[in-house]
């Protein structure tokens, strides 16, 4: 489950292909910024730890996402940090203290053949990334050349997005709060179900992967049984099967489904779900479309500021 991912493969839902890409697009974008890459360069989404790599040439790397101890030989590097490493040095990314996925970016990005405009690994379709599979011991990857990209200093530099410290505090308390929009079938659920959805915690079960998380908590019954034609769904869609236990679709979400939809997690909060481990509790907060759009715009503005600040620091360095 350590996979080459970029920001995904949009535009192919009508062909039955999910968007895919990094579960935590915010972390990958910031990691890329720390090594001077464009936001959509391919990096490695790390879900199984410890993860080790050893470069055959000097390179820049950055780690973002989960709160991991990172070691360059015997030196400890902070999370959300980018720096240079010499050829032959071993870099180890330890199991997270908080969070679930770490993102490794290297200067220039990872050089694998794009498929339908993306270097992301699609495990269901078995293409993209490294032969459509997860990485294994002994794999060798190449970095893409990026002429004119400034090198990072050995001491490095880092940045943490403004929402991350609050997220860590929540996660340390065992829960994550995410904002959601009412789904198309929201009104078909009973009043008590809607109240439970908004006021109860739902735990991520062991049945969780890049396709989606099955949750456990108060059942969410419909007022009366309904039969729906299969319809398009997206990452963040919260479906409710007959069991009454919700399912959140994620990066490799199914492209269509017929379960009633009670809500959709706003795009700006999807990164939080990527970092929520099995056993973590989810708290849903109903919001409106204007807030959802504003949150996404604010996140884009912050990423722009981060990139500008990092570029300035690298130039001065």
CATH number at residue 272: 2.40.100.10
pLDDT digits (tens, 9 = 90+) for 238-272: 999 999 999 999 999 989 999 999 999 999 999 99
Q: Has residue 264 been placed in a domain?
A: yes
Please indicate, yes or no, whether residues 73 and 173 belong to a single structural domain of this protein: no
| Tokens standing for residue 194 | 């809607």
Query: Which among 20, 21, 36 has a CA at the least distance from the CA of 317?
Result: 36
Please indicate, yes or no, whether residues 70 and 145 belong to a single structural domain of this protein: yes
Q: Has residue 269 been placed in a domain?
A: yes
Please indicate, yes or no, whether residues 148 and 247 belong to a single structural domain of this protein: no
Q: Has residue 142 been placed in a domain?
A: yes
Please indicate, yes or no, whether residues 129 and 9 belong to a single structural domain of this protein: yes
Please indicate, yes or no, whether residues 152 and 272 belong to a single structural domain of this protein: no
What is the full per-residue pLDDT of the chain (317 aa) written as tens digits?
Answer: 899 999 999 999 888 899 999 999 999 999 999 998 999 999 999 999 999 999 999 999 999 999 999 999 999 998 899 999 999 999 999 999 999 999 999 999 999 999 999 999 999 889 999 999 999 999 999 998 765 555 665 557 788 999 999 999 999 999 999 999 999 999 999 999 999 999 999 999 999 999 999 999 999 999 999 989 888 899 999 999 999 999 999 999 989 999 999 999 999 999 999 999 999 999 999 999 999 999 999 999 999 999 998 877 766 65
- What average pLDDT does the structure give for the chain? 93
Range of the domain at 54: 3-161+300-316
Please indicate, yes or no, whether residues 116 and 178 belong to a single structural domain of this protein: no
pLDDT at 119: 97
Q: Has residue 295 been placed in a domain?
A: no
Please indicate, yes or no, whether residues 87 and 151 belong to a single structural domain of this protein: yes
pLDDT at 153: 57
State the Cα–Cα distance between residues 224 and 218, nearest whole angstrom. Answer: 18
pLDDT at 311: 79
Please indicate, yes or no, whether residues 135 and 227 belong to a single structural domain of this protein: no
| Tokens standing for residue 57 | 């040439």
Q: Has residue 102 been placed in a domain?
A: yes
As beta bridge partners, residue 76 has 71
Greatest extent of the chain over all pairs of C-alpha atoms, in Å? 65
pLDDT digits (tens, 9 = 90+) for 124-157: 889 999 999 999 999 999 998 765 555 665 557 7
Please indicate, yes or no, whether residues 121 and 200 belong to a single structural domain of this protein: no
Please indicate, yes or no, whether residues 34 and 156 belong to a single structural domain of this protein: yes
Asked if 213 contacts 220 with a C-beta cutoff of 8 angstroms, the reply is no
Q: Has residue 291 been placed in a domain?
A: no
State the Cα–Cα distance between residues 277 and 118, nearest whole angstrom. Answer: 27
Q: Has residue 293 been placed in a domain?
A: no
Please indicate, yes or no, whether residues 68 and 148 belong to a single structural domain of this protein: yes
pLDDT at 145: 77
Task: Give me the residue label for tokens 């309904």.
Answer: 226
Contacts 24+ apart (CB under 8 A), 164-167: 164/80, 167/272, 167/275
Please indicate, yes or no, whether residues 150 and 179 belong to a single structural domain of this protein: no
As beta bridge partners, residue 130 has 133
Q: Has residue 65 been placed in a domain?
A: yes
pLDDT at 227: 85
Query: Which among 56, 58, 66, 28 has a CA at the least distance from the CA of 44?
Result: 28
pLDDT at 222: 97
The total of structural domains in the chain comes to 2
Asked if 273 contacts 250 with a C-beta cutoff of 8 angstroms, the reply is yes
User: Model pTM?
Assistant: 0.95
């Amino acid at each position: 489950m350590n996979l080459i991912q970029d920001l995904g493969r949009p535009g192919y839902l009508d062909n039955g292909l999910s968007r895919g890409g990094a579960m935590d697009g915010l972390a990958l974008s910031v990691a890329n910024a720390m090594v001077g890459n464009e936001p959509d360069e391919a990096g490695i989404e790390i879900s199984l730890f410890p993860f080790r790599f050893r470069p055959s040439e000097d390179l820049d790397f950055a780690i973002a996402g989960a709160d991991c101890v990172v070691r360059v030989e015997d030196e400890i590097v902070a999370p959300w940090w980018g720096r240079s490493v010499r050829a032959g040095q071993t870099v180890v990314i330890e199991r997270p203290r908080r969070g679930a996925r770490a993102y490794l970016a290297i200067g220039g990005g990872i050089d694998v053949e794009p498929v339908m405009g993306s270097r992301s690994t699609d495990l269901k379709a078995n293409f993209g990334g490294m032969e459509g599979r997860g990485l294994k011991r002994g794999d060798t990857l190449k970095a893409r050349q990026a002429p004119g990209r400034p090198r990072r200093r050995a001491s490095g530099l880092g940045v943490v997005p403004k929402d991350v410290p609050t997220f860590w505090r929540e996660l340390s308390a065992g829960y994550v709060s995410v904002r959601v929009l009412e789904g198309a079938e929201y009104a078909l659920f009973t009043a008590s179900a809607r109240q439970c959805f908004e006021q109860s915690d739902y735990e991520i079960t062991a049945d969780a992967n890049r396709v989606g998380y099955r949750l456990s908590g108060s059942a969410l019954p419909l007022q009366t049984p309904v039969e729906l034609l299969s319809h398009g769904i997206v990452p963040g869609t919260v479906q409710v099967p007959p069991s009454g236990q919700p399912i959140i679709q994620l990066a490799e979400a199914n492209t269509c489904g017929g379960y009633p939809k009670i809500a959709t997690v706003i795009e700006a909060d999807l990164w939080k779900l990527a970092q929520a481990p099995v056993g973590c509790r989810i708290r849903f907060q109903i919001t409106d479309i204007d807030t959802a759009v504003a949150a996404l715009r604010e996140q884009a503005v912050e990423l722009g500021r981060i990139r500008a600040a990092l570029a300035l620091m690298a130039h001065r360095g």
